[in-house]
Amino acid sequence: MPEAVRYTIFQTGWGHFGLVGNESGLRRTCLPMAQARQVESLLLESHPTALYDRRLFQTLRRQIIAYFDGACVNFNRDIPILLEGLSPFAHSVLTACRNVRYAETISYGELAAKVRCPKAARAIGGLLARNPTPLIIPCHRVVRGDGKIGGFSAAGGIPLKRRMLEIEERTNSSAVWSIPGSRSSLG
């Protein structure tokens, strides 16, 4: 019997943030919004049968809250992300993007080169626009080849992307905040 999909919404310093998943992994995130109802609506749009669970992803929630409080957080790579129904190309792009470290940026072209598809920068931009787990897969760290910010289709748009990049740039990257753990840290 498949595990029930659950969701949680919690307050950060920038607004309400949402997560969807289960014990197998994370399925979706929703970047901060002013109203919890807005976050819930977006989460349930993609996972209409998800059940609310205030205890879901407690370790990850602490990391996200710390991030939006200005801490330098490299999200735990042990947290599995469930990328179901995506092509091998999409998996490779999202995996490569997940490896972009805090306060670093990469261009769409550089990301294309990393996945051995050097002419796929535009396709990668379209794929990142559909990233199901922004922040955890840090698509906000992917910029244009000329260094300009580029697009951002997640809730909050380009102003949120700019703000996230600015806070990462200001934060002392020598003090990375991380919670050690493994898959057991999903709870």
C-alpha torsion sign, points 176, 94, 120, 113: positive
Q: Give the H/E segment covering residue 6.
A: strand 6-12
- Fold type of domain 88-170: Arc Repressor Mutant, subunit A (1.10.10)
Superfamily for domain range 6-78: Methylated DNA-protein cysteine methyltransferase domain (3.30.160.70)
Name the residues annotated as catalytic.
139
Q: What pLDDT band is residue 1 in, cutting at 50, 70 and 90?
A: low
What is the β-pairing status of strands 25-33 and 15-22?
antiparallel
Tell me the per-residue pLDDT of 4-62, one tens digit each, with 9 for 90 and over. Answer: 999 999 999 999 999 999 989 999 999 999 999 999 999 999 999 999 999 999 999 99
- The domain spans of the chain are 6-78, 88-170
Identify each DSSP E strand in 14-110 by its residue range: 15-22, 25-33, 51-52, 72-73, 106-107
Q: How many angstroms separate the CA atoms of 46 and 110, rounded?
A: 30
Residues in the chain: 187
Query: Can you tell me which residue has the tokens 């748009």?
Result: 157
Q: For position 172, what pLDDT does the model report? A: 56
Transcribe 102-138 into DSSP letters: TT--EEHHHHHHHTT-TT-HHHHHHHHTT-SSBTTB-
Q: How many angstroms separate the CA atoms of 178 and 20, rounded?
A: 21
Q: What pLDDT band is residue 180 in, cutting at 50, 70 and 90?
A: very low
What does the buried/exposed string (b/e) look like for 103-120 if buried means 16 or more CB atoms within 10 Å of the residue's CB? bebbbbbbbbbbbeeeeb
Query: Can you tell me which residue has the tokens 């993609």?
Result: 46
Q: Is pLDDT of 77 > 80?
A: no
For the record, the structure tokens of 131 come out as 């990233």
Q: Is pLDDT of 84 > 90?
A: no
